[in-house]
Amino acid sequence: MPLTEPQKKVINNQSRFRVLITGRRFGKTYLAINEIAKFASQPKKKVWYVAPSYRQAKAICWGVLKEKMIYHKWVKTINHSDLTITLRNNSQITLRGSDNEQSLRGVGLDFIVCDEFSDINKTAWFEVLRPTLSDTNGHALFCGSPRGFGNWSYELFKMGEMNNEWSSFKYTTLEGGQVPQEEIEQAKQDLDLRTFQQEYEATFVNYSGMIYYNFNRDKNILEKYTSDSPIYHIGLDFNIDPMCGVVCIVQHDKIIVIDEIQIYSSNTNEMCEEIRNRYKNKQIAVYPDPSARQRKTSAGGVTDLAILKNAGFSVRTRNTAPLVRNRINAVNSKLKNVNGKNSLFIVKSCKNVIKSLERQIYKEGTTQPDKDSGFDHMNDALGYLVEYLFPLRRNFVPSQPQRWS
């Protein structure tokens, strides 16, 4: 597939450090692999692709990168365990995850791609990766979506306006040309305004104050709610003090919080007993923190996940924990989407859920939720359920198939 005009502008720029902020489905990975190929086509170059985690690096880039190298018949050897491709000209391309900073040290590099760099630890760049480019006068390309003014991605983006060695670029999803207009209109129905601005319009939004800013007592609170639904959906947060459950009815695209469970000095067995006693004639689906696969809050050496299954509940959880921001954005989007539609409601008697939604804030100067005030537990329980049932990440079909040229 030919490069789009915005992609060409990034590739043709000669700055040593380039920062690319885009909306979803811009084609960042496609662009990054083209840049990797350009640098690696020169003899004896060391090129790295760095993602927030080793698993992400492999999932996002490894298959596509191998395809391109094999297509051009450049490959000498492929080390699948180390995620390294050695080319016929003795250049090496290696994939790394910033979650293992020790694996990033001690190597002189000619070119680095930092993909989804807003999720990479700031120190991994400034203290570990940046020095690897000093001896070689190497280059770097940063690709990602904005994560608010408190995230270091904004700091790097602004460097492109102040430093001759740096250039910055920002493009919306629509400008990227990979997602049709009707898909973007659909996203407006799925997302809240701030999430849409960040994820599709590549806008740096202000992360300060109230986390669940879309919560509105007049719009999201019900005086009461009656239902003959045979199944109750319960989000769970495993904390000994307190252990929390948010009990919901799910109807099509709507979620109604009808009850809350908060037990102090407790464990998973006691939570299961409380659920069974309260809802004796209901089918129960639980949405726990994915750490339940390993975590044990009860005696006997049995994981929380096993306890929930043994209690006869339908357990619905991801293999790995969703990003905190994805849980927050999912809840905000159900509270009110871009078009003003409310799809998440809380019965007035659920006072702890309401208080938590109203009072949890961001830590000052960061994009991280405050967890010292105690308002995080109910919100986390609700977030696991909402994000599982209504995830924000959509599998878009590009408007044209991508082929290497």
pLDDT category of residue 238 using cuts at 50, 70 and 90:
confident
CATH code for the domain in which residue 314 is found: 3.30.420.280
Among 172, 199, 226, which residue terminates a domain?
A: 199
Q: Is the pLDDT of residue 405 over 70?
A: no
Q: Is the pLDDT of residue 399 over 60?
A: no
Do 181 and 40 belong to one domain?
yes
Give the rounded percent of residues in the chain with a pLDDT score beyond 90: 63
pLDDT category of residue 228 using cuts at 50, 70 and 90:
confident
Of 272 and 321, which is predicted with more confidence? 272
Whether 378 maps to a domain, the answer reads yes
pLDDT category of residue 180 using cuts at 50, 70 and 90:
confident
Do 195 and 234 belong to one domain?
no
Do 130 and 228 belong to one domain?
no
Is residue 216 within 8 Å of 362, Cβ to Cβ? no
Segment 42-52, tens digit of pLDDT: 999 999 999 99
CATH code for the domain in which residue 142 is found: 3.40.50.300
Residue ranges making up the domain that contains 118: 5-199
- Quote the pTM value: 0.70
Q: Is the pLDDT of residue 395 over 60?
A: no
State residue 400's pLDDT score.
Answer: 35
Do 311 and 187 belong to one domain?
no
Segment 77-123, tens digit of pLDDT: 999 999 999 999 999 999 999 988 878 887 899 999 999 998 898 99
Residue 155's CB is within 10 A of a number of other CB atoms, namely: 12
State residue 272's pLDDT score.
Answer: 95
Least confident of 159-163, 193-197, 325-329, 347-351: 159-163
Q: Is the pLDDT of residue 270 over 90?
A: yes
State residue 401's pLDDT score.
Answer: 33
How many structural domains compose the chain? Answer: 2
